[in-house]
Amino acid sequence: MKTQNLIVGQGLAGTLLYHHLTKRGARCMIIDDDHATCASAVAAGFVNPISGRRLILSDDFEKYYAEAEATYREMERTLREHLFEPKDIVRFYDSFTEQKNWSERKDRIKSAPYVKSFQPAGLYRRWFHDPYGSLVIKGHICHLHRLLSSFREQTGPDHIVPGAFDAARLEVTADGVAYRGIQAKRVIFCEGFRVTQNHYFAKLPWKHAKGEILLLEHEGPPLPDKIFNFGKWAYRASDKTVRLGTTFYWRTIDTEPSEEARREILARAETRIVFPYTIKQQYAGVRPVLLDLNPVAGLHPRHPRVGILNGFGAKGVLRGPHAARQLAEYLTEGRPIDRSINISRFNI
């Protein structure tokens, strides 16, 4: 079998890269091990324009949002699936002081256009302890699980090869790469956090962050279809289930659910959630993160047949489309990749 680009990993990075390359007429094949360690399959998929307790507009939001939305809309048309939608983020105040500070600052700060309204205390009392009211932030959600599975179904077995990629079987020459009967011009690694086992790119300054999520089942009225934020977040997964997360751990990097994370999430939830629930599932994933918190895209400086797209961190939905497009344009048209995400910013 012949192709131009052999992509390893079909998480968000591999899927976006395939989209941008094929859109430009390049041929691709993807190898993926059935999402064995896929952060994208675990992630909530939120885009939140505002960060932190002081409700500051995230630096990268205005720079990347329009392109992200346009890319997911394009993929919606290709895959004929509903993937990306506005979703209000209800951010509960922690105190009257916080509420007062916001109303004093609200006309002066850059994040103000992304805040829809103030909501009085008690509006969500059937589900949450809500004594100080809340702000409604204009957020979005990308249904990542749906994106990955419909991409996989529709792209089909001729272009997606199931199974674990075995690095020992890869042959790299000056003219291209060969892997188990597949001949390609190059291989691009989109392996998420498992990049640290890849000898070409393991030396980049990685600082991955493990995150966990609980799936709760409950009786009574369904949670309103919004993202509730109280240090942790909760949102409706179905009429009877709620997803609750998340954690950031840098010490243990694996995809095993942990007691420590479960305790941390529940301790926070107990201060807010008033509906009775049972825990049905716990999921763990690893955000692939570089020390400077930017993605990385490009070809290896000494092995030009070997490339990478990775490091999407905690903002894959927002930042992934731009990074994937930049790499696709570089590979198909030779356009330079932005310095901030270019692999050339590192010495490897």
Residues in contact with ligand FAD by CB under 6 A are 8-14, 31-33, 35-40, 42-46, 164-165, 190-192, 194, 211, 213, 245-246, 285-288, 310, 312-318
Phi, psi of 299 (to 5 degrees): -105, 150
Residue 71, classed as helix, strand or coil, is helix
Comparing CB distances to ligand FAD, the nearer of 165 and 200 is 165
Q: Which is nearer to ligand FAD, 43 or 306 (CB)?
A: 43
Nearest 10 degrees: CA dihedral of 323, 329, 330, 333?
180
Structure tokens at 243: 């997803």
Nearer Cβ to ligand FAD, position 133 or 139?
A: 139
Task: Give min distance, CB of 1 to ligand FAD, in A.
Answer: 17
Select 119 or 246, whichever has its Cβ closest to ligand FAD.
Answer: 246
Nearer to ligand FAD, 102 or 147 (CB): 147
> What is the DSSP secondary structure assignment for residue 58, as one 8-state letter?
P
CB of 151: closest distance to ligand FAD in angstroms? 12
Q: Whole-number minimum distance, CB 281 to ligand FAD, in Å?
A: 13
Residues 26 and 4: beta-carbon distance below 8 Å: yes
Least distance between ligand FAD and beta carbon 339 (Å): 21
Other Cβ atoms closer than 10 A to 142: 28
Nearer to ligand FAD, 96 or 250 (CB): 250
Residue nearest ligand FAD, Cβ-based: 11
Token representation of residue 303: 């092995």
In the complex, least distance from residue 94 CB atom to ligand FAD, rounded to whole angstroms: 21
The DSSP code sequence of 71-100 is HHHHHHHHHTS--EEEEEEEEE-SSHHHHH
Q: What is the dihedral sign for C-alpha 193, 261, 141, 136? A: negative
Q: In angstroms, what CA-CA distances link 162 with 32, 81, 180, 308? A: 5, 23, 13, 20
Name the minimum Å distance from CB 124 to ligand FAD: 21
